[in-house]
């Protein structure tokens, strides 16, 4: 299956969930037009409290729809945007992408993947135990974050459900994703 955008969401208020939309507009160096996380500098409230001058490496949040499928099988019936993602993908393992991967979305938009989303306790407000369901440990005991990836917008464009996603890997050696 070729990767596609399965849903797009945005929210003007700082809340865990973002309502689904027919389309979203990505703005270079800023993020999703009309979204609370739009900006050159960090907009995530806890990060603003620490240092409001940090660059915004979290302009766009992407989650793979397959995570929703897995969570649904465990009793967490989630809709796109409910975990705060702007773009829900299908057919793309976003967690396996290296840092610096460029995602071409629809006709024009380009996002560069900056790192992993670090899931927070607010997820338990949606469903008790959801945070634990999106955090795991590997064989070495390292934390595995499964709540999607973050990115920055390189090229403006409109993104809609059904849009194709073209993956452009960066130069080798690939850098693994780390929380941003």
Q: Which CATH number characterizes residue 155's domain?
A: 2.40.33.20
Neighbours of 178 (CB within 10 A): 11
102 touches 110 (CB < 8 A):
yes
**38 in a domain, yes or no?**
yes
If we measure between CA atoms, which residue out of 47, 74, 70, 63 comes closest to residue 151?
Answer: 63
The model carries a pTM of 0.96
pLDDT band at 46 (very low <50, low <70, confident <90, very high): confident
Give me the domain span that covers residue 122: 4-168
Q: How many domains does the chain have?
A: 1
Smallest CA-to-CA distance from 134 within 147, 124, 122 is with 147
Strand intervals (E) in 24-176:
24-27, 31-32, 60-64, 87-90, 102-105, 109-116, 135-137, 143-145, 149-155, 157-159, 165-168
Q: Alpha carbon 34 to chain centroid distance? A: 16
| CA quadruple 119, 125, 126, 131: dihedral sign | positive
167 backbone dihedrals φ, ψ, rounded to 5° = -100, 125
pLDDT digits (tens, 9 = 90+) for 135-172: 999 999 999 999 999 999 999 999 999 999 999 998 89
| pLDDT value for 49 | 82
Residue 174 lies in a domain: no
* Residues contacting residue 68 through CB under 8 Å, at least 6 positions apart: 78, 79, 80, 88
Query: Looking at the domain assignment, is residue 59 inside a domain?
Result: yes
Among residues 113, 100, 110, the alpha carbon closest in space to that of 157 is found at 110
Average pLDDT rounded to a whole number, residues 8-37: 97
What is residue 45's predicted lDDT score, i.e. its pLDDT? 77
Query: Does 16 map to a domain?
Result: yes
């Amino acid at each position: 299956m070729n990767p596609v955008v399965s849903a797009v969401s945005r929210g003007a208020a700082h809340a865990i969930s973002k309502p689904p939309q027919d389309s979203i507009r990505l703005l270079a160096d800023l993020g999703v037009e009309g979204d609370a996380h739009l900006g050159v500098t960090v907009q995530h409230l806890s990060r603003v409290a620490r240092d409001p001058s940090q660059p915004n490496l979290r302009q766009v949040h992407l989650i793979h729809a397959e995570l929703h499928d897995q969570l649904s099988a465990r009793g967490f019936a989630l809709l796109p945007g409910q975990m705060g993602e702007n773009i829900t993908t299908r057919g793309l393992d976003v967690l396996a992408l290296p840092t610096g991967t460029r995602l071409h979305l629809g006709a024009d938009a380009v996002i560069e993947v900056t790192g992993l989303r670090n899931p927070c306790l607010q997820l338990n407000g949606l469903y008790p135990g959801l945070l634990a369901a999106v955090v795991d440990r590997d064989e070495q005991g390292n934390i595995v974050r499964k709540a999607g990836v973050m990115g920055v917008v390189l090229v403006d464009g409109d993104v809609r459900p059904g849009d194709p996603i073209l993956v452009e890997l960066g130069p080798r050696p690939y850098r693994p994703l780390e929380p941003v």
